[in-house]
Amino acid sequence: MDFLRPTTWQEALAAKADRPDAVPLQGGTDVMVELNFDVRRPAALLDLTRVPELRAWEMTGGYCRIGAGVSYATVIEELSGPLPGLAQAARTVGSPQIRNRGSVGGNLGAASPAGDSHPPLLAAGAVVEVESRERGVRMIPAAEFYLGVKRSALEPDELIRAVHVPPATGPQYFSKVGTRNAMVIAVCSFAIALHPRERRVGTGIGSAAPTPRRAREAEELLARELDWSAPLDPALAHRFGELCARAAAPIDDVRGSAAYRAHALGVLARRTLTWAWNDYRRAA
């Protein structure tokens, strides 16, 4: 197995262009597990840990641009203010060791339906920045990035450079059901982001469909019927929960049944909307 070790982003793009079969390696918390269990044996690994710009984040163009190698620990320590939903999700990932090594870019690269970054990225309206040597930069809205189970819109010669997330303008929440409290893959998860300036609510569903996805009909319901100057109508919150559950396409597996996932998702949606709404009203 070849081990490619670029030290700049341009070298990394060149290496991926010349060796599209090379598997990128960031924190290695997915890749090394797969190698250890012999799930795959790639001809080459492309180690990105020596590319410093991948580990930095910055505010630019009204977005928080998070380098693909930024760890969950950094998101928690440095970005809980502007990105509370993503930071909440990051707090639920694995253990301290996994949060130190694992990255948001690696979560996107793996594109697992159960990845915890995806629901808050969808709810916030994030955009994924990918790049190839031959075709340059492509900006892919998170909602178009996930194509199937562990399949994304990334081409074989492309790398994820960063993810651009709009800073929160209203309350955000992430909630996850697991078979225990820590070190657990989500049975299902849900993220909500209130966008008061646009009178809009964003959603993200995790681990309850082949891909992470938005609950679009539920979002449309709130865009139509939510009165932003009044307490939350419990009947509206209930319908919101139902539509979120309907937006999912869960399966039965070792972690939970499809029926349980749909039910739990409805509860998470109603609950997170209520928390976010209460925060919004208190602040207003």
Contacts to ligand FAD by CB under 6 A: 23-31, 33, 48, 68, 92-94, 98, 101-103, 105-107, 109-110, 115-116, 154, 159-160, 183, 185
Q: Which is nearer to ligand FAD, 137 or 259 (CB)?
A: 137
| CB of 232 vs ligand FAD, minimal distance in Å | 30
Q: Which is nearer to ligand FAD, 123 or 154 (CB)?
A: 154
Q: Which is nearer to ligand FAD, 109 or 166 (CB)?
A: 109
| CB of 44 vs ligand FAD, minimal distance in Å | 11
| CB of 108 vs ligand FAD, minimal distance in Å | 7
Q: Which is nearer to ligand FAD, 52 or 234 (CB)?
A: 52
The letter for the amino acid at 25 is L
Q: Which is nearer to ligand FAD, 95 or 169 (CB)?
A: 95
| CB of 100 vs ligand FAD, minimal distance in Å | 10
Q: Which is nearer to ligand FAD, 23 or 194 (CB)?
A: 23
- Decide: 190 and 174 in contact? Cβ < 8 Å: yes
| CB of 220 vs ligand FAD, minimal distance in Å | 28
| CB of 272 vs ligand FAD, minimal distance in Å | 18
| CB of 26 vs ligand FAD, minimal distance in Å | 3
Three-state SS sequence of the chain: CEEECCCCHHHHHHHHHHCCCCEEECCCCCHHHHHHCCCCCCCEEEECCCCHHHHCEEEECCEEEEECCCEHHHHHHHHCCCCHHHHHHHHCCCCHHHHHHCEHHHHHHHCCCCCCCHHHHHHHCCEEEEEECCCEEEEEEHHHHEEECCEECCCCCCEEEEEEECCCCCCEEEEEECCCCCCCCCCEEEEEEEEHHHCEEEEEEECCCCCCECCHHHHHHHHHHCCCCCCCCHHHHHHHHHHHHHHCCCCCECCECHHHHHHHHHHHHHHHHHHHHHHHHHHC
Q: Which is nearer to ligand FAD, 112 or 203 (CB)?
A: 112
Could you tell me how many residues make up the chain? Answer: 284
